[in-house]
Copies of this chain bind each other. A is one copy, B any other.
Amino acid sequence: MSFTIAEKNIREAGGDGFAQDLASLKMVIEVRLDQLLPRGGEPSLAARYSLLAPAKRLRAVLTVLAARQCGGAEEAALDVACAVEMVHTASLVFDDLPAMDDADLRRGVPTPHKVYGDDVAILAGIGLLNGAFGVVAQAQSLSPTQRVEVVEVLSRAVGWTGLVQGQALDLAHGEGSIDDIHYGKTGALFVAAALAGAACAGAPVSARAPLVTYGRELGLAYQALDDVLDHVASDGLAGKSTRKDADKRTAVMLGSVPSGGLRAAKSRAERHLEAAAEAASAVCDGSPLVALTEHIRAHFEKVGA
């Protein structure tokens, strides 16, 4: 990423100290992502295309903030945060495929299968998911025990009760409540991002339970707000194909009429944000993770959700 873009990030973040902090963190994460992904071969080019496209890096930021809140050095959590972002990007690449949600736009650019073909996009997704585990295994600043813990946490988030299940339920393969779907699609990786940060900081076991609650509640809030955004925003503003969820069970469609659905989804998100903030305040010095809930609320307000 060029320094100009980094400066633009920070400038746009405005005067709020936390927002500037996040913008600078995002810059550090993006520089490291660029270093971690090789160049060479179409699959890695397609992976770079998806991974380095403009994005909020929210899950990666969550990992670093969880490490900070648990008293760990942010540098130690950086590669793990990048691994979390790689897992997330892999899930977007897969979910956008024609065989899945068949989306044309993501992160403000055409989806990778539109640019590189379905086969290369699938290989890019595999490479990103697999590469995340490789990055964790090679995270020199962590002990082998910490790396193993992070691998386990990430694998659980992706697996049969995480992203894989969430996407299957979302595609209507099986019965699941809206919370089951949202937890699988989003909450599971938010939980993993928080726990991975705690693992990097060598956090005490007592920190884990509130972090699980925090990740889950923040994920459910985020998904509800994302459903609202999907409903009200244009593709250009959302940076991705919207209204692909018209026939799905989303937070908005739970209501019987669209506007009632929108209001219900917003109040649903609000409840989850409050629960997240409450859980965060129980973890060591709660301030960074509480501030993140405020930041997410503000972000969605800004884009109209």
Please tell me if A159 contacts chain B, counting CB pairs below 8 Å.
Answer: yes
Render A19-45 as a binary contact track against B, CB cut-off 8 A, 1 for contact. 000000000000000000010111110
Please tell me if A105 contacts chain B, counting CB pairs below 8 Å.
Answer: no
A125 to B97, CA, bound (A): 14
- Which of A136, A154, A160, A167 is the most central at the interface, judged by chain B CB atoms within 10 Å of its CB? A160
Task: Name the segment of A143-151, A211-219, A258-266, A291-299 touching the other chain.
Answer: A143-151
User: Main SS of the interface on chain A?
Assistant: helix
Chain B residues, Cβ within 8 Å of A305 = none
**Which among B118, B126, B149, B164 is the interface contact of A99 at CB below 8 angstroms?**
B118
Chain B residues, Cβ within 8 Å of A133 = 133, 151, 154-155
Task: Name the segment of A63-71, A168-176, A230-238 touching the other chain.
Answer: A168-176
Instruction: Indicate whether A136 sits within 8 Å of B151 (C-beta atoms), given known contacts A43-B168, A94-B126.
Output: yes
Please tell me if A53 contacts chain B, counting CB pairs below 8 Å.
Answer: no
Binding site for B on A (CB under 8 A): 38, 40-44, 94, 97, 99-100, 117-120, 122-123, 125-127, 129-131, 133-134, 136-138, 143-145, 147-149, 151-152, 154-156, 158-160, 163-165, 167-168, 171, 173-174
- The 24 sampled A-B contact pairs (Cβ below 8 Å) are A40-B160, A41-B160, A41-B174, A42-B173, A44-B160, A94-B122, A97-B122, A100-B122, A119-B171, A120-B173, A122-B122, A126-B158, A127-B158, A127-B160, A129-B129, A133-B133, A133-B151, A133-B155, A134-B151, A136-B151, A137-B151, A138-B152, A144-B144, A147-B151
